Amino acid sequence: MATKIDYYAVLEVSRDANGDEIKRAYRKLAMKYHPDRNPGDTDAENRFKEINEAYDVLKDDQKRAAYDRFGHAAFEGGGPGAGGFDFGGGGLGDIFEQMFGDMMGGRRGGRRSGADLQVQVTITFAEAFSGVKKKITVPTRVTCESCDGTGSADKDAKPETCPSCHGAGKVRAQQGFFFVERPCPTCHGSGHLIRNPCKECHGTGTVEKNRTIEVAIPAGVEDGTRIRISGEGESGGKGVPAGDLYVHVSVEQHAIFQRDGANIYCRVPVRMAQAALGTEIEVPVVDGSRTKVKIPAGTQTGEHFRLRGKGFSVLRSSARGDMYIQVVVETPRHLTKRQRELLEEFEGDGAGHAKGSPESTGFFSKVKDFFEGKL
């Protein structure tokens, strides 16, 4: 079995990193190793999977606490339905219930299920804003039509109960104080034996097939979001529930807008004269519309102008984020002779400098005090 790398090392963060630090590290690495940016690079693809796996654990306080205490052993077996720990609805106390509960009858009420599947979907910034339906092709296993999922060439024949595990699908062995459970080697975990296996599925009851599924991605979804679609994973055969499908959403960056949670930021350059005299500018909104923003006289670089309710929808809420216009005052280049003369005339009129440029006046006043030993 391959040794797993420490999740903190995967995300290149310290073990005491907070949630924001972990999120920033994940976004940086996911962008760097995303398959779309590294086509055909197997190493980058594997690294991307490791990054997503690590972030899925460390972003969740309960999963992280379990990982800090038990390491990778807390998640061995592939998660719910396969011997791992499920953090979907309880605290750390559930770990022990699941650890020893498997020995007393298994997960999901003692029923096995098909394997869970994971797929990656990339959407645009605009699609994340408005929500979108995506058709995805999933390579999976479905119920065999030839035997109706029984695994037997004779549909009327009833499967025989496995004599080794007595239908449980797993066997137990005691090692000191603990019991260790493994899939039954005789029936390979199915709990029964097929004497005359189906030629199409070779007795498994399922066959490989590509399925097309339409996934509804809600408005406001963030990069790295995982959507669970119950029952759309691999078929477990007749009488066995299918696994789940997990859709990992990747959101493309935008050329104009940046996002922070539900808020949107737009960096808008404004000419020096416009910032000094005041102006009105027209800016784009992510929904495709336009709006006008008044820039008051004397606006400085870094000032923000808020457009309420123009941001992203908040998932599972009717709330909306805001849009912020970030002003960048642009210094002119390649001046004409006349422009230079006007600026020199303006600069030469020092009477209004203290009032018109209070920041620079105050700063250089402090610099003077510093050199005179007053600060």
| Feature table: binding site for Zn(2+) | 144, 147, 162, 165, 184, 187, 198, 201
Q: Which two tokens stand for residue 250?
A: 């990747």
Q: Which residues participate in the annotated binding site?
A: 144, 147, 162, 165, 184, 187, 198, 201
Q: How far apart are the first and last CA of the chain?
A: 64
d(CA 47, CA 31): 11
Please work out, in degrees rounded to the nearest 5, the angle formed at the alpha carbon of residue 369 by the alpha carbons of 366 and 373.
Answer: 140
Residues 240, 114: contact at Cβ < 8 Å?
yes
What does each C-alpha distance from 244 to 180, 235, 316 come to in angstroms? Answer: 26, 10, 21
| Amino acid type, 346 | F
**Residue 211: φ, ψ to 5°:** -120, 140
What does each C-alpha distance from 318 to 129, 156, 312, 313 come to in angstroms? Answer: 14, 54, 11, 7
| Amino acid type, 36 | D
Q: Of the candidates 57, 69, 75, 74, which has an alpha carbon nearest to the alpha carbon of residue 8?
A: 57
